[in-house]
Amino acid sequence: MRAWMIAVILIVATAALIFLLNSAFPDALQNDDNQMQLFASLGWLVLLGSSVVLRLRSRPGSSLRALAAWVLIFLVLVWVYAYRVEAMAIGQRLLAVLVPGHGYTTVSANSDGTVSGKGEMRFAVNRDGHYQVNARVNGTYVTFLVDTGATDVVLTMLDAQRIGFDPDKLRFTQRAETANGVVRAAPVTLDEIALGAIVIGHLPASVNEAPMSQSLLGMRFLNQLKSWRVENQMLILQQ
């Protein structure tokens, strides 16, 4: 009798759920695809409910514990889906703190439930108090040091080779004053430089002839943006 009572309760609960959902979304069941999905879901629910009833009859104690665990898992999954935008933002921010050069995109939910970026990137300060960014240059990832004191985007010779520039074809016709004196640089053009949601094409840059520890992302790139600022130890770039 207990098993039949549980089965009746499950059927009534399912019918009540369908009624509530249909009241909240009156047009949802007008779509044939939605109706097919509903019937398929009901079939799975009946199958699972039957197995639960049979198991409750044989081992009620362990079955109730397993049922409670599955209900808890289901509720957690529903919560994650409902707050997926916030969860994604928290996860991206944690990754940005652990790997400062990674950065993360500010995300928002569209009216149709999908997630989109705003063309904004945020980078956490590194241990040295500087800001590094991992950018995709002509399809190759390069780690830049953001330098507001640098006029150009300056590549090390090694990064220039990785991107695809032939050192033998570079013409070092520029002169630049650095802390180590005057150095020569070769002008180049980057087909595309992308930082997550931010993409800029045909950007002039230069390859430094002297050894450098890291490529520099200077004002020529920052001036292409709508805005950039430092706030709460975060570098915020917006296109």
Tokens representing 163 are 């991107």
Average pLDDT in the chain? 75
Note the pLDDT tens digit of each residue in 229-238.
998 888 999 9
pTM of the model: 0.57
d(Cα 203, Cα 138) in Å, to the nearest integer?
11
Which 3 state secondary structure label does DSSP give 83? coil
d(Cα 28, Cα 32) in Å, to the nearest integer?
9
User: Which position has the token pair 């950018």?
Assistant: 135
Note the pLDDT tens digit of each residue in 81-133.
555 545 555 555 655 555 566 777 765 445 444 444 556 888 888 888 899 99
Helical spans, DSSP H, in the chain: 2-24, 32-58, 60-82, 84-98, 157-163, 219-222
Query: Which superfamily, per CATH, for 101-238?
Result: Acid Proteases (2.40.70.10)
Which 3 state secondary structure label does DSSP give 229? strand
3-state SS track over 148-215: CCCCCCEECHHHHHHHCCCHHHCCCCEEEEECCEEEEEEEEEEEEEEECCEEEEEEEEEEECCCCCCE
Q: How many other CB atoms are found less than 10 A from the CB of residue 40?
A: 10
Note the pLDDT tens digit of each residue in 172-224.
999 877 766 788 999 999 999 998 888 999 999 999 998 888 999 999 999 99
- For residue 48, CA distances in Å to 53, 63, 118, 146 come to 9, 13, 42, 56
Phi, psi of 217 (to 5 degrees): -105, 100
Q: Burial of 216 by CB count in 10 Å (0-12 exposed, 13-18 middle, 19+ buried)?
A: buried
Structural domain boundaries of the chain?
2-82, 101-238
More confident residue, 58 or 203: 203
